[in-house]
Amino acid sequence: MRFDTRLVQIGQEPDHGSGDVVPAIHITTTYERRMQDPLRYFYARGENPTREGLERCLASLEDARFAMVFSSGQSAAATALTLLDPGQRLISSDDVYGGTYNLFRTLGRYDIEVEFVDLTDISALDAALGYDVGMIWIETPTNPLLKVADLAAVHHCVRENGIRIVVDNTLAGPALQQPLRFGADVSLYSTTKSIAGHSDVLGGALVYDDEELHHIFSSYRAAVGNVPGALDCFLVHRGLKTLSLRTARQVSNASQIATELRGLASVGTVNYPGLVDHPQYQVAIKQMSGPGSILSFEYLGDPRELFDKLKLFSCAVSLGGVRSLIERPATMTHAPIPLATRLKLGISDNLIRLSAGIEDPADLVEDLLAAL
Ligand SMILES: *Cc1c(COP(=O)(O)O)cnc(C)c1O
């Protein structure tokens, strides 16, 4: 079965009793026990059929044996971080989601040090390695600068050290990039974004192939209870079915917008991996089947005035949904990052991030051109 068919059918098998073509949502928190029953379902923090349907689908999309879903992307990320032991070092992409940066700050109390490295530079990664590195955390493309790390090259660099590679694949999503195929141990998602796709539910997921990881993640999730509710799993799974259709339209819209922005006097650099002069254009072609729905650019005027003039783009954080959004990382998504670090990374006060939705591209371009 191919990717687009799996999206619609895996984990959504019709119910043989009633004939429902959409499986019922299991809202129960507890399961009746009888002497002769096998011990499969016990309590909803541990197991739930609606959640498991979503997990089977997400695992199958990456040909992985396991997927585990969570109440948010952050709780998926926090669970992945439990693979680190006290005293170990974590090497991370230098340009990460602001919330990830915040989450890393909690690691100090476990004596885990985080080192930010530009992972587009393999020699910088090589120099940062050491016996105490337990994990590499990669965001690619990065957010908001859209830098692309070469996943196979990172894997090649660290493979002999037993270091776990976690890839936050939220921006690209599984339709455009599949990190496990390039040596990653874990693909991480905020399913809140393109997977659910409609900006109406929070969720997270980890996808992986290793049974030992499954043991660690499932025991941890059952212990701390960071599970999504059944209704949320239903919404995420309903959105997931149209992921390929939405992604194709979003990539096409983002590409058109990136091309239009480039010629404008009020616009400086445009960051989008689909532009041939993007520094990692060739890497993007090698590991992604499309350059994504997110781009960023330098606006030479006042960003607040720009946002006020736009009629179709809502000024809001988040990304990957059907509605087009625009935001200013310096004061919104990346506000937690200290000023000096932010400026060093290139996240200036004039940087604007845009998430292309599925609207008619002519309307989106018209709205932007009028405002710019
Ligand atoms: C939104 C986001 C997260 C966090 O996900 P939540 O569902 O909001 O908890 C993590 N990583 C990236 C790249 C994101 O965009």
Q: Which domains does the chain have, with CATH numbers?
A: 3-240 (3.40.640.10), 243-371 (3.90.1150.10)
168 CA from centroid of ligand 1 (Å): 9
Q: In 173-314, which ranges are continuous DSSP H helix?
A: 211-224, 230-240, 243-262, 281-287, 303-309
Give dist(CA 117, CA 345) in Å, integer: 11
190 CA from centroid of ligand 1 (Å): 5
Give dist(CA 42, CA 39) in Å, integer: 7
pLDDT of residue 36: 75
pLDDT of residue 216: 98
Active-site positions read: 45, 97, 168, 193
CB 288 within 8 A of CB 320: no
285-127-208-245 Cα dihedral, nearest 10 degrees: -20
CB 104 within 8 A of CB 114: yes
Give dist(CA 105, CA 98) in Å, integer: 11
194 CA from centroid of ligand 1 (Å): 11
**Residue 123 CA: distances (Å) to CA of 145, 197, 259, 267:** 20, 37, 32, 33
Tokens 């100090």, residue located: 108
pLDDT of residue 323: 98
Tens of pLDDT, residue by residue, the chain (372 residues):
999 999 999 999 988 888 899 999 999 999 988 777 676 788 999 999 999 999 999 999 999 999 999 999 999 999 999 999 999 999 999 989 889 999 999 999 999 999 999 999 999 999 999 999 999 999 999 989 999 999 999 999 998 888 999 999 999 999 999 999 999 999 999 999 999 999 999 999 999 999 999 999 999 999 999 999 999 999 999 999 999 999 999 999 999 999 999 989 999 999 999 999 999 999 999 999 999 999 999 999 999 999 999 999 999 999 999 999 999 999 998 888 889 989 998 999 999 999 999 999 999 999 999 999
Residue of 102, 190, 327 best suited for mutating to test ligand 1, as the one with most atoms within 8 Å of CB: 190
pLDDT of residue 16: 80
- 323: tokens are 């509605």
Residue of 104, 140, 167, 170 best suited for mutating to test ligand 1, as the one with most atoms within 8 Å of CB: 170
283-289-291-294 Cα dihedral, nearest 10 degrees: -130
- Going by CA atoms, what residue is nearest to atom 2 of ligand 1? 190
- The set of protein residues with a Cβ atom below 6 angstroms from ligand 1 is 72-74, 97, 99-100, 139, 143, 168, 170-171, 190, 192-193, 202, 204, 319
Q: Which H/E stretch holds residue 52? A: helix 49-61
- 234: tokens are 């239903």
| Model confidence pTM above 0.95 | yes
Tokens 């195929």, residue located: 181
Read off the DSSP letter of residue 181.
Answer: G
